[in-house]
Each structure stands twice: as C-alpha cells, then as structure tokens.
C-alpha cells in the first residue's frame, strides 16, 4: 500500500533479554502485566471485535473496540514503555479508537471497503511484533485531527454465537451498485413478551424466491415494551440493477414455547422498483405474508411498524 508507514525493525526483540527495562518483555516473565502477555490479550480482543464488525454487529463491535482502547490506554498510563514501543502501541490504540468511532457513526457505514481489511491486518502483526516493518493503516491523515475517516464495511452476525443466517457483504463487481438494509427497531404490541424474535428477509423476483436471510434474535426490548432492538445489516447479494421489479419481504417471527414452533407475527416489504436511500418506517401488514401482493391489510394503525435504513454502495 502506498500509504504504509515505516516502523523501526526489531522493535521488541531488543528488549527480550532485558528484564530490567520498564515494561520490558523479559525471558520468562509470563505475568499479566508483561507487554508480551498484554499483546496476546489485545490480539484476542481485537480479533473478536473484528469478527463482530465483519459480520455486521456494530453494537458488539463498538463495545469490543472501546474496551480494547481503554485497556491499552490504562496500560500505557501505568507501565511506561521505551519510545519506539510506546509509539507502536499508541498507533494501535489510535487505529482501534478510530475504527470504534466509525462503527458508531451510522452515516459512515458502507463507504470504504478497505478500512476493515486494514484493521484486520493488525491481528497477525501482534503475533510477531518484532517483525513489524510497516503499519497497515495510514494514520498521517489523523495527525492533530480525531475525526474518524475510516468507514465501516460490516456484513453481519456471528451465527454460531447468537443465531441468524445473514450473508456477508458480497464480493462486488466494479461499477455495480448494491443494496444494504439495516434493521433497527420493530415496534409491535407487547414486544417485550416475544421470545427469540427475529426478522426474515426474503427477496422475491418474478414470483420466485431468490434469497432468504434471517437476522439474529432481537438484542432487547425498549423500556416501554413496544419495540424490539436489532441493528443488524442485510446485504442483498445481487447488484441493484439486476433486481428491478423485485421486492424484499421483511417478516417478524418469534418462538412460541407452548407450541414449540416459530410463528409469523406480521410482515412488511420494500419495493426495489421504488427504493430510495435513507431512513424508512414501514407499517406492519397482517399475516400470512403474501408474496404475490394480493390482499394487504395493515396489522395495526399508528405507531407500529419497522424502522430501518437503506444504503446503496458501489463495488
């Protein structure tokens, strides 16, 4: 990368055999306060946050990045390091902090597809810090400016940990435009009573089901008990131009323990032919979901509906 920044070689190995250096690695010192142990701990935390980031869980990713930044900051305050080591650790802290701010910025999503890849490149560097020659993220543009210019490029959740079957951001064709739908809040009566609620996204084209994805379970209910919080991202896999005339049906489902089955509560849809980028609030329709667009009846009037956001992004 043309923006690579030179790092002093042998940054850590010069202290491996010097246990007297403040914060030095030491030959056999495996206590939690050693730099080597800290690097391993930070690497694990960074890898976990990146996984959340990669699979489109911005809230968990933001929490992971923030916790890691706080850990690094606390370590530097209590454990002084040699100048070269201190510089590298501070670059790590700044990079993670900027990524954290980008994840938290709703308007910054889907912009720079390289940003997450650059941050992910830090993980193997922490395995062998002695061999760090270049920093994978260009931080020169942030000198004296804490505005987060790195942009989020998430995809979706850790399926094994929290459920769901969302698909990763597709490998985009150059010049093509793609659609991402963030599901934010589902407002329904007695939302707090719903167990394991999720949203199923079904792309229908020409009367045929083309693609089905399921969000993870809702994170929690709002204080008034009417809303289910999601903040998950659905990446439609086809280019926008190839989905003309299609619709994305969004169905709110939940588990009924007494009947031991997943039940449809209500549904709504996005018409891709009239799709616009930005925020949306769609009224819920009565079940069953009618992909043929026959009879449509509003389930509840007033405040009930699905809140989300549409983003168009280019390959």
Condensed to tens digits (0 to 9), the pLDDT of residues 47-59 reads 999 888 877 777 7
Q: Which of 259, 279, 229 is nearest to 107 (CA)?
A: 279
Condensed to tens digits (0 to 9), the pLDDT of residues 162-199 reads 456 788 888 878 889 999 999 999 999 999 999 889 99
pLDDT at site 139: 60
Condensed to tens digits (0 to 9), the pLDDT of residues 7-22 reads 333 334 333 333 333 3
* CA of residue 131 relative to chain centroid, distance: 30
pLDDT at site 19: 35
CA distances from 123 to 38, 47, 116 (A): 13, 7, 12
Q: Which of 165, 164, 169 is nearest to 181 (CA)?
A: 169
Q: What is the mean pLDDT of the chain?
A: 77
pLDDT at site 73: 86
pLDDT interval class at 147 (50, 70, 90): very low
pLDDT interval class at 26 (50, 70, 90): very low
Residue 138 has pLDDT above 70, yes or no: no
pLDDT at site 25: 36
CA distances from 12 to 28, 118, 296 (A): 15, 22, 66
Residue 6: which H helix or E strand, with range? strand 5-6
Domains defined for the chain, CATH in brackets: 5-142 (1.20.120.360), 162-314 (2.60.40.150)
Q: Which of 84, 82, 66, 83 is nearest to 74 (CA)?
A: 66
Q: Which two tokens stand for residue 35?
A: 């730099």
Q: Which of 70, 249, 300, 278 is nearest to 180 (CA)?
A: 278
pLDDT at site 132: 67
Q: Which two tokens stand for residue 59?
A: 């809230």
Contacts of 180 (CB under 8 A, 6+ apart): 109, 110, 169, 233, 234, 235, 236, 310, 311, 312, 313
Mapped onto helix, strand or coil, the DSSP state of residue 240 is: helix
pLDDT at site 114: 53
In which residue are the tokens 């400016």 written?
145
pTM of the model: 0.54
Residue 204: which H helix or E strand, with range? strand 195-205
Distance CA 33, CA 31 (A): 5
Residue 277 has pLDDT above 70, yes or no: yes
Distance CA 201, CA 83 (A): 52
Distance CA 42, CA 38 (A): 6
Mean pLDDT to the nearest integer, 93-99:
84
Q: Which has the higher per-residue pLDDT, 258 or 44?
A: 44
Condensed to tens digits (0 to 9), the pLDDT of residues 209-243 reads 999 998 988 888 898 889 999 988 999 999 999 99
Distance CA 187, CA 173 (A): 36
Residue 293 has pLDDT above 90, yes or no: no
pLDDT over 70, % of the chain: 76
Distance CA 65, CA 71 (A): 10
Q: For the chain, first and last CA: distance in Å?
A: 19
In which residue are the tokens 């089901």 written?
209
């Amino acid at each position: 990368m043309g923006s690579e920044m030179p790092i002093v070689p042998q940054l850590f190995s010069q202290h491996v055999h010097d246990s007297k250096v403040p914060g030095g690695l030491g030959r056999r010192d495996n206590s939690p306060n050693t730099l080597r142990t800290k690097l391993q701990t930070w690497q694990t935390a960074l890898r976990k946050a990146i996984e959340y980031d990669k699979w489109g869980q911005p809230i968990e990713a933001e929490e992971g990045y923030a916790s890691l930044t706080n850990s690094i900051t606390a370590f530097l305050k209590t454990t002084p390091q040699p100048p070269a080591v201190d510089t590298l650790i501070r670059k790590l802290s700044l990079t993670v902090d900027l990524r954290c701010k980008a994840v938290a910025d709703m308007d910054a999503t889907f912009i720079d597809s390289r940003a997450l890849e650059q941050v992910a490149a830090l993980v193997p560097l922490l395995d062998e810090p002695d061999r760090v020659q270049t920093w994978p993220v260009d931080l020169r543009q942030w000198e004296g400016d804490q505005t987060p210019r790195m942009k989020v490029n998430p995809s979706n959740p850790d399926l094994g940990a929290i459920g769901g079957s969302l698909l990763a951001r597709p490998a985009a064709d150059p010049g093509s435009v793609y659609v991402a739908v963030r599901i934010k809040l589902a407002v329904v009566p007695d939302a707090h009573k719903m167990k394991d609620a999720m949203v199923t996204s079904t792309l229908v084209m020409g009367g045929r089901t083309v693609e089905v994805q399921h969000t993870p379970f809702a994170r929690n209910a709002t204080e008034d008990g009417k809303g289910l919080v999601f903040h998950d991202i659905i990446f439609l896999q086809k280019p926008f131009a190839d989905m003309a005339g299609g619709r994305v049906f969004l169905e709110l489902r939940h588990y009924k323990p007494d009947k031991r089955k997943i039940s449809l509560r209500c549904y709504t849809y996005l018409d891709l032919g009239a799709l616009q980028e930005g925020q949306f609030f769609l009224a819920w329709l009565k079940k069953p979901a009618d992909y043929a667009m026959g009879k449509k009846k509003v389930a509840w009037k007033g405040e009930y509906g699905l809140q989300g956001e549409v983003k168009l992004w280019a390959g």
